[in-house]
Amino acid sequence: MNRMNHRRRLGLATACAAIAVGSLLPATGAMAATPSTGGSFVIGDQSASLGSQVTFWGAQWWKDNALSGGVAPASFKGFADSATATCGEPWTTRPGNSSAPPATVGDVVPMVVSSTVTKSGPVISGDTSEVVLVQVDPGYEPDPGHPGTGTVVGIVCGGGGVAAT
């Protein structure tokens, strides 16, 4: 493994470790972990290719994210409060911004990639087929009327390995 790939892998491992313990890391370069409040933003598996522009939060999440398992419910806005950003783990959340999205996000954030998002009563659930790193664009607010967008810059798990950022 060359030195640059080794550094990237260490950076990704640091982000994963921060998620596992549910803590915030100070930004190191552009790397910052998900908020300590828990949960994760979600993007659709058909929208999550490296270099793609994604919407991870917003009123139109269900229209902006393509899922191989079908269309997501319109009441899902993109934040799953029980998601751990761990490949293979299912998650659940509540509709809209009642899922308590974070007030702010880091520059580069690990996000869950789901192939299916469904709703049964007041519970929305999905899978974690992959975890990717998203370089977040300015303008995110925890109100779904202010979409959160960014660019997929790396793969943490699933989807064929780690990519350059």
The predicted-structure confidence for 3-34, as pLDDT tens digits, reads as follows 343 333 334 443 443 333 232 233 333 334 44
Q: Which of 10-24, 60-74, 113-127, 133-147 bottoms out in mean pLDDT, i.e. has the lowest?
A: 10-24
Model confidence pLDDT, tens digit, residues 48-57: 999 999 999 9
Tell me the whole-structure pTM to 2 decimals.
0.76
pLDDT above 70: percentage of residues in the chain: 74
Dihedral angle of Cα 27, 55, 53, 81, to the nearest 10 degrees: 40
Dihedral angle of Cα 13, 90, 107, 95, to the nearest 10 degrees: -170
Q: Where are the domains of the chain?
A: 3-157
Model confidence pLDDT, tens digit, residues 77-112: 999 999 988 999 999 999 877 788 999 999 999 999
